[in-house]
Amino acid sequence: MDGLRAFLEEDVPNGDVTSETLIPATAVSKAVVTSGGDGILAGAEEAAWLFADGGLEVRSIKHDGDPVSAGDEVMHIEGSLREMMLRERVCLNIMMFMSGTATETNRVLKACRAVNPRVSVAATRKTLPGLRALQKKAVRLAGGESHRDSLSHHILVKDNHIEAVGGMENALQALKSAPATIIEVEAETEQEALAAAAAGVDIVLLDNMTPAEAGICYRSIKGAYPNVLVEVSGGIGPENAPAYAEFADRISMGHLTHSAPSLQFSLHIL
């Protein structure tokens, strides 16, 4: 949590000159944070920590992962009015940003599971530098997964890797000496997908396929290698994700972390 102070330092490099001009240093007050829309709450833990880090008393009404509706009270705050004003924007921004991601994840996941109750939805590495942990946490709070937290997480052989080593056959051969970790291979054709599955990889990623193409590959892989996890990705958003749900164990999509709209929150002085 200590890293959250960097967000505050960005917004308050040399004090809050407005509050320090208008508000007496001894002024104390109470405030309430309310939701401006319907969704899934995320970032409340981080916001509460930042408020408390300024000596403010915080009482949480809603908790991360809870559904919220417009007008719901999320937390009560009491203490120095200057500190409330100084921390308000950063705390609300964190909640708005993370809750937006959680809300969108929940929406997409529900739509996909209406088609396939077993499918999972995962966030990719398409995150803002420095904010990945918060974005991935928001996805998980809404029931989603993290595809990879970093390049160190597990092996994912992508098209550029395959091109760099001279083709799929060479890539699969090189994987025989891979360290003990999850191995995932991206495939753009049914032939590549079956070759990867036959080589004993853990996950085959069907990249940039139509739902019909993904369906053909999925049935071929599962028919011969039922324990291989099939993931689909590439060009998938909330509108077409359900069309892939029947032909995937997991759907990974950058949309969850780079295009989710924020959920509004406000702080009201009482």
Residue 45's pLDDT band (cuts 50, 70, 90): very high
pLDDT band at 2 (very low <50, low <70, confident <90, very high): confident
pTM: 0.94
- Residue 1 — pLDDT band, cuts 50, 70, 90? confident
Read off the pLDDT band of 40 (50, 70, 90).
very high
Which pLDDT band holds residue 221 (cuts at 50, 70, 90)? very high
Domain residue ranges of the chain, discontinuous segments joined by +? 2-99+261-269, 109-258
- What is the fold, at CATH topology level, of the domain defined by 2-99+261-269? Aldehyde Oxidoreductase; domain 3 (3.90.1170)
Place of tokens 């309430």: 32
Under 8 Å between Cβ of 100 and 64: no
Residues labelled as active-site residues: 89, 126, 158, 186, 207
Query: Domain spanning 109-258: which superfamily?
Result: Aldolase class I (3.20.20.70)
Q: Supply the pLDDT for residue 180.
A: 83
